[in-house]
């Protein structure tokens, strides 16, 4: 049944007019779901709010320069953004507003008025529009902080956002820090929180999961060249790809707290990617450039159902011999390897993978940092349960209560990303990686993924490949 619904959804989305008609008819139900999920999240948040570390406990307290390009920003949104910075519990900050040649004088005057009252606010007014990347780079050049934070002109910060970030820097020495976030409507009401994992390489190449709030070392940012105007519209994603290529995983820190409020309004990218069609081309080019920089061959395709997501297929230029075996707790890895010489082994409960599909998964299984690849799991509850290897248990429990209208739940059901130990009905694994395990490792997905993750490998979940049930 789940597979049938999946295919039906795909067919509806393939017809844009039918998709819009169905969305219109389902509007009352979506409103009901949103209200229900808001109540569930609000109740959860009241029980799981953590107190930030004490400022005095931080040995390192770096100055953080917050860069905000503005352009015809509605004054109420501008004031809310600035006030959210002024209200920070962490005192070592400066706010750099770079007006990108606004044609609305009320925006410029509001910036001047705010600067008169706020000593830590530094306004700059460009004579010519440089677009968002150029304006951001101008602001970075004026910054005096050891770290640079990116904030959109119509968004806001949690009062403890900078304190949590500074604590992460103090604890880990990270060069790049990002936090969880939530969308908020035009009235400033939060909804749709997004709970992110720690550094997750395949996830970042499927969707810009980092987005906001992002804070990075000014020295690092200068070394990689700042933002690139050739990617306006997706300049932050391209920058994150470039920054993370220059870092080791331990230099990237994630703060699992909702600290950024992303405002959704007309023509906002947060609302609809199609509101800014030039973004799509920039995203494709950014991902292709990332592959070229990593010296890997890939095919990059926009997800036909979910336009903000991308499917990156690796091209290794060779075919692999394959074999299929059944999961069996009473059988060991050593016993399996005595029965097959195949390069790639598909372990399954009851699914069938056509040869072409198996070869597709094998290209990922052959990648150096990937232990096993799991194709789409039909049981959505199991998909969410597997997130316990990358998300806090309380978040996983919350997601089990929500529908796919939850952005976090939706993205984890539909995108490619890395996991740790999982339960899955089907996985593909390279023989060489199985051979590195203890021969007495039981032949179950949980035991094998746990053992491989213990050796430094990642599990890859790929929901774009759907096995056929062997019935």
Looking at residue 4, its pLDDT comes to: 59
Looking at residue 3, its pLDDT comes to: 54
Looking at residue 357, its pLDDT comes to: 87
Other Cβ atoms less than 10 A from the Cβ of 403: the count is: 14
Looking at residue 470, its pLDDT comes to: 43
Burial of 15 (0-12, 13-18, 19+ CB in 10 A): exposed
Looking at residue 318, its pLDDT comes to: 83
* DSSP code string of 117-128: H-TTEEEEE-SS
Task: Supply the DSSP symbol for 36.
Answer: H
Strand pairing category for 252-263 and 310-314 = unpaired
* Token pair 């799509």 in the structure block, residue: 280
Task: Supply the DSSP symbol for 217.
Answer: E
- DSSP bridge partners of 150: 67, 214
Task: Supply the DSSP symbol for 232.
Answer: T
Looking at residue 430, its pLDDT comes to: 97
Q: Are 377 and 469 in contact (CB under 8 A)?
A: no
Give dist(CA 470, CA 468) in Å, integer: 6
Burial of 78 (0-12, 13-18, 19+ CB in 10 A): buried
The beta-carbon contacts of 324-330 under 8 Å, at least 24 apart in sequence, are 324/348, 324/353, 325/443, 327/425, 327/443, 327/444, 327/445, 328/443, 329/442, 329/443, 329/444, 330/442
Residues of the chain with pLDDT under 70: 1-20, 22-24, 26-27, 29-30, 265-276, 469-471
The domains of the chain, with CATH numbers, are 2-47 (no CATH), 55-289 (3.90.550.10), 317-469 (3.90.550)
Looking at residue 36, its pLDDT comes to: 82
């Amino acid at each position: 049944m789940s597979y049938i619904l999946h295919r039906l959804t795909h067919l509806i989305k393939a017809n844009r007019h039918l998709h819009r008609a169905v969305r219109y008819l389902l509007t009352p139900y979506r409103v009901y779901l949103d209200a229900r999920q808001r109540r569930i999240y609000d109740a959860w948040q009241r029980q799981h709010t953590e107190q930030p570390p004490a400022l005095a406990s931080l040995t390192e307290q770096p100055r953080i320069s917050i860069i905000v390009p503005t352009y015809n920003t509605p004054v109420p949104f501008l004031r809310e953004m600035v006030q959210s910075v002024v209200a920070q519990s962490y005192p070592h900050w400066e706010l750099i507003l770079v007006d990108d040649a606004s044609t609305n004088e009320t925006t410029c005057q509001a910036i001047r008025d705010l600067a008169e009252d706020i000593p830590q606010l530094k306004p700059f007014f460009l004579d010519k529009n440089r677009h968002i990347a150029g304006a951001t780079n101008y602001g970075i050049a004026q910054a005096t902080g050891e770290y640079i934070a990116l904030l959109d002109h119509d968004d806001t910060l949690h009062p403890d956002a900078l304190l949590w970030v500074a604590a992460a820097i103090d604890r880990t020495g990270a060069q790049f820090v990002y936090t969880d976030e939530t969308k908020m409507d035009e009235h400033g009401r939060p909804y749709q929180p997004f709970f992110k994992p720690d550094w997750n390489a395949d996830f970042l190449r499927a969707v810009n999961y980092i987005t906001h709030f992002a804070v990075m070392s000014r020295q690092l940012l200068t070394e990689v060249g700042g933002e690139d105007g050739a990617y306006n519209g997706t300049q932050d994603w391209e920058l994150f790809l470039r920054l993370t290529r220059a870092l080791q995983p331990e230099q990237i820190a994630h703060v699992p707290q909702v600290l950024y409020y992303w405002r959704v309004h007309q023509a906002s990218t947060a609302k609809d990617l199609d509101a800014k069609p030039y973004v799509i081309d920039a995203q494709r080019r950014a991902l292709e450039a990332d592959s070229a920089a990593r010296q890997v061959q890939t095919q990059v395709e926009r997800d036909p159902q979910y336009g903000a997501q991308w499917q990156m297929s690796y091209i290794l230029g060779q075919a692999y011999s394959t074999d299929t075996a059944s999961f069996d707790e009473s059988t060991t890895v050593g016993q399996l390897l005595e029965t097959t010489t195949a390069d790639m082994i598909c372990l399954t409960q009851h699914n069938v993978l056509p040869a072409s599909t198996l070869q597709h998964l094998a290209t990922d299984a052959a990648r150096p940092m990937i232990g096993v690849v799991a194709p789409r799991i039909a049981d959505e509850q199991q998909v969410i349960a597997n997130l316990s290897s990358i998300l806090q248990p309380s978040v996983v429990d919350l997601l089990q209560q929500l529908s796919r209208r939850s952005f976090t739940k939706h993205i984890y059901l539909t995108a490619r990303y890395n996991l740790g130990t999982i339960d899955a009905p089907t996985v593909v694994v390279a023989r060489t990686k199985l051979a590195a395990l203890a021969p007495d490792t039981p032949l179950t997905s949980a035991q094998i993924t746990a053992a491989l993750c213990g050796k430094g490998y990642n599990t890859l979940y790929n929901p774009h490949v759907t096995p056929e049930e062997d019935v």
